[in-house]
Structure 1
Amino acid sequence: MSRVLPLSVYKNMMNRTEVLLIDGCSKYKCPECSGVFQDFRGLKAHLQIHSGDKEFICPHCKKLFFRKTNLDDHIKSVHQKIREYNCTECGRGFFNSSNLIPHMRIHSGVKKFVCDVCGESFTHWGSLKQHSYTHTDSKFVCSYCGNTYKNPKGLASHIRNVHTIYPKSVCDVCGKEFKKKKLLKEHMVVHTSDRPFECDICPSTFKTKKHLRQHYKKHIQISKYQLV
């Protein structure tokens, strides 16, 4: 089980928790970030993020999780690629129905979430929520460096990319470090003589798909020149 924060810590955070009244209902705002929750139970679960306690490690990518259920979901969706819920229109698979249902609105064309300021409509409530910040002067401030963002999504992305420390994947040939195992795998071709990507127009071969795509552009440019 994941570690429970000491009662004294919860009491301290409870004293600093701001209770908001939104649409006639009480909401709990996290004292550490911009997160807002329906009830205090949800806030308490969220506070584990700020506790620094991450106890469950993915055996495949070494990513860390606060709860075993989150780790299990991660393994199923990312590494086992289990997609039990499929879209009947395009066949795209989803890990759960809560992700499939919003996706189906793309095919229906229904945009039932309407901005009450400018009238723009959206297929997803989350898109409307992000849009609503364009009509406010709200600023979301990074507690690490003071940078400000117009919406929580921008702030979260900044913290994830700039301030979050990930277990690093290290190249055992040159020592270069990568945040993701995928990037290390792509890098390793530099240290081999393999050139598995072949151009089907000329005899050229390349180490990566990226270099092959760049090469194809040259053929396209030559074709355009010959047509002139």
Structure 2
Amino acid sequence: MIHTGEKPFKCSHCDYKFRRKSHLKNHLMIHTGVKPFKCSHCDYKFSRKSDLKNHLMIHTGEKPFQCGHCDYKCSRKSDLKNHLMIHTDEEKPFKCSHCDYKCSRKSDLKNHLVIHTGVKPFQCSYCDYKCSFKYNLKNHLMIHTGEKPFQCSHCDYKCNFKSLLKNHLMIHTGEKPFQCIHCDYKCNFKSLLKNHLMIHTGEKPFQCSHCDYKCSLKSNLTNHLVIHTGEKPFQCSYCDYKCNRKSDLKNHLMIHTGVKPFQCSYCDYKCSFKYNLKKHLMIHTGEKPFQCSHCDYKFIRKTDLKNHLMTHTGVKPFQCSHCDYKCSFKPNLKNHLMKHTGTKPFKCTHCDYKCSLKSNLKIHLMKHSGAKPFQCSHCDYKCSFKSNLKIHLRKHTGEKPFQCSHCDYKCSHKSRFKEHQMKHTGGKTIKCSHCDYKCRYKSTLVRHQKTHTGTKPIDVSIASTSAA
């Protein structure tokens, strides 16, 4: 039959034919699903004894086939045959009839041809998914079954693919096999190294179709495009909050769940985000990595340094739309605008007091609670506010930070300093912007300015009579 090409044994389930009855018997197990050969080390089962024999070498570590040109060893003869092509001229004997593709193995060529034919014979029984290769379907089915056969030996992590487990294990081993040739950067994955290298090359292959924005990562471009489309695909299940990124939604959900997975090792502080814990730890370590280039000030946060620098530059980018007020910080403008709108969102729970600032409410509540958290280290003095303690401490230190520019007078309180200056100025330091009028107090100036604006000032005597 070898010479005649005759194949008398035909499969009753498909068109396969065989020369030997034993071959047909083995083939039929594909259709029946019978796997009589079981591994004694694990749960694997096989249709053929030869497959079991090859599999057992994984457990024994046996590699009987060795290359005659180098130290390469393997457990299967077919693997050695493929390897030998590296050393021989017959490196890639299998060529594609549609393009210039060449390969070492016939099976690789068969897989490649699917690109040209577009054949996808394997279909998912749960959804419309189709694929060209059986192993792709097998992997896809795990999405529906929830099967995660690969488990970490160090923790509870499970996954669908061996490659994912291999990557995960590097977290435990600390292995970082991929190193940058330009700097000391090391990482676990080749893809991360590829992305990192773009920092050195300056390469930005992904460009926005709406503007000039370019970036190194496709994910960054995806996030950027949302600016143009206004799309917010991630929605909170507790409230109306929507966002562009899944990570933002994850962070937002902690507001509702109250989850605070990050705890300080020095105190009871807990927080939802790792970067908040990192900043908090600096309170204990005393670390202040951000230093002002104009003075000796140092800060824990970069934003604090940025805000501080405005005291040197004098920049006040935020302007009130109702008056000439300008400020360096947006929250200050927001607070200022409440003077115009009359908004007082913070209300005392003990009385009718309302205010525009949360800090003012906090101060007011101390009147009800009688709390005096700040204590002097030299005597029994206690107070409600840190600023008061600072002033009190000057009695012990003898510090007098306020000095008159006209004489040698010094004092520890700003209010006393202000009173002293009136002796030199004649007591009228506040000037009207419309005329030459001067007065001592701001409240007096406000009443005076109503004569310019046309607003009728309140007559105190009439108000007192009517109240009586």
Structure-2 residue corresponding to 1:86: 95
CA-to-aligned-CA distance 1:150-202 (integer Å, 9 cap, x gap): 43xx1266359959xxxxxxxxxxxxxx97xxx89x97x99xxxxxxxxxxxx
Which structure 2 residues correspond to residues 161-176 of structure 1 after superposition, within 5 A? none
Question: What is the CA–CA distance in structure 2 between the aligned matches of 1:59 and 1:145, rounded to whole Å?
Answer: 39
1:43 deviation in Å? Answer: 1.0
Question: What is the CA–CA distance in structure 1 between the aligned matches of 2:66 and 2:154, rounded to whole Å?
Answer: 28
Q: Identify which of 137, 147, 150 aligns with 1:138.
A: 147
Which structure 2 residues correspond to residues 200-215 of structure 1 after superposition, within 5 A? 214-215=200-201
Structure-1 residue corresponding to 2:32: 24
CA-to-aligned-CA distance 1:38-81 (integer Å, 9 cap, x gap): 22331122101110223555577744322455333223158868
Question: What is the CA–CA distance in structure 1 between the aligned matches of 2:87 and 2:151, rounded to whole Å?
Answer: 29
Conserved 8 A contact 1:30-1:43: yes
C-alpha RMSD over aligned residues? 4.5
Structure-1 residue corresponding to 2:165: 158
Question: What is the CA–CA distance in structure 2 between the aligned matches of 1:159 and 1:29, rounded to whole Å?
Answer: 26
Q: Identify which of 132, 136, 148 aligns with 1:123.
A: 132
Conserved 8 A contact 1:34-1:140: no
Aligned length: 164
Question: What is the CA–CA distance in structure 2 between the aligned matches of 1:146 and 1:39, rounded to whole Å?
Answer: 35
Question: What is the CA–CA distance in structure 1 between the aligned matches of 2:157 and 2:40, rounded to whole Å?
Answer: 17
Larger radius of gyration: 2
Cα distance change, pair 160–72 in 1 and its aligned pair in 2 (3 A) = farther
| Consecutive unaligned residues in structure 2, runs of 5 or more | 1-28, 171-175, 184-195, 214-468
Question: What is the CA–CA distance in structure 2 between the aligned matches of 1:214 and 1:81, rounded to whole Å?
Answer: 40
Question: What is the CA–CA distance in structure 2 between the aligned matches of 1:80 and 1:161, rounded to whole Å?
Answer: 39
Cα distance change, pair 141–96 in 1 and its aligned pair in 2 (3 A) = closer
1:90 deviation in Å? Answer: 2.6
Question: What is the CA–CA distance in structure 2 between the aligned matches of 1:75 and 1:161, rounded to whole Å?
Answer: 33
The one-letter amino acid paired with 1:75 is: L
**2:119 aligned with 1:110:** yes
| Consecutive unaligned residues in structure 1, runs of 5 or more | 1-20, 164-177, 191-209
Question: What is the CA–CA distance in structure 2 between the aligned matches of 1:145 and 1:78, rounded to whole Å?
Answer: 41
Question: What is the CA–CA distance in structure 2 between the aligned matches of 1:145 and 1:59, rounded to whole Å?
Answer: 39
Cα distance change, pair 34–49 in 1 and its aligned pair in 2 (3 A) = same
Cα distance change, pair 93–157 in 1 and its aligned pair in 2 (3 A) = farther
Which structure is richer in relative contact order (CA contacts within 8 A, separation 6 or more)?
1
CA-to-aligned-CA distance 1:124-155 (integer Å, 9 cap, x gap): 2221111111111323144854655443xx12
Conserved 8 A contact 2:124-2:137: yes
Deviates more, 1:128-137 or 1:59-68: 59-68
Question: What is the CA–CA distance in structure 2 between the aligned matches of 1:126 and 1:67, rounded to whole Å?
Answer: 20
Question: What is the CA–CA distance in structure 2 between the aligned matches of 1:49 and 1:41, rounded to whole Å?
Answer: 14
- What SS does structure 2 have at the residue aligned with 1:26? coil
Cα distance change, pair 58–144 in 1 and its aligned pair in 2 (3 A) = farther
Question: What is the CA–CA distance in structure 1 between the aligned matches of 2:167 and 2:97, rounded to whole Å?
Answer: 34
